[in-house]
Amino acid sequence: MFAILTLIVLVAALNIISGLIMLVQDKASAIAVLRTMGATRGAIMRIFLITGATIGFVGTACGLILGVAVAENVEPIRKGLSWLTGRNLFPAEFYYLSQLPSRLDARDVIAVAAMALILSLAATIYPSWRAARLDPVEALRYE
């Protein structure tokens, strides 16, 4: 499960990268104005690192809460969906299960959450570096 969840988080981290790169392109003139007003490259980099880290933290927290809630209540959810649709979603004669199993291990949950936070923070490094090395003259030339 750790490997599967790592791949899912990796896709989310790539979405953070692409979103921040588009943000840097969209805010190029604002970054250039900040640089001409005296903001250092480090300050610009920190802005985008904090933005990406916030996105990663909120996404990890929401995923953690939703994932634990679903894992703890998978059988009532299955029963509710079966009642709502009027069909047996997982018939025992096909799946050889009388109920859906779910076992939550705190160490696994913490490992996945830590990995998600680390990957989301690592995903912000390239876009923030790209924003920091933006040349103010080139960004403001055609404005």
- Does the pLDDT at position 93 exceed 90? no
pLDDT confidence of 127, banded at 50, 70, 90?
very high
Q: What is the mean pLDDT of residues 93-113?
A: 83
Beta-carbon contacts of 113 under 8 Å, excluding residues fewer than 6 positions away, are 60, 64
pLDDT confidence of 141, banded at 50, 70, 90?
confident
- Does the pLDDT at position 21 exceed 90? yes
By the 10 Å C-beta count (0-12 exposed, 13-18 middle, 19+ buried), 88 is classed as: exposed
The rounded percent of the chain whose pLDDT value lies above 90 is 66
- Does the pLDDT at position 125 exceed 90? yes
Q: What is the mean pLDDT of residues 109-126?
A: 94
Beta-carbon contacts of 48 under 8 Å, excluding residues fewer than 6 positions away, are 20, 23, 24, 124, 127, 128, 131, 132
Calculate the average pLDDT of the chain. 90
Tokens representing residue 127 in the block: 């876009």
Tokens representing residue 6 in the block: 């790592």
pLDDT confidence of 66, banded at 50, 70, 90?
very high
Q: What's the pLDDT at 1?
A: 82
- Does the pLDDT at position 18 exceed 90? yes
User: At residue 134, what is the residue type?
Assistant: L
Helix spans in 27-105 (H): 28-36, 41-72, 74-85, 92-95
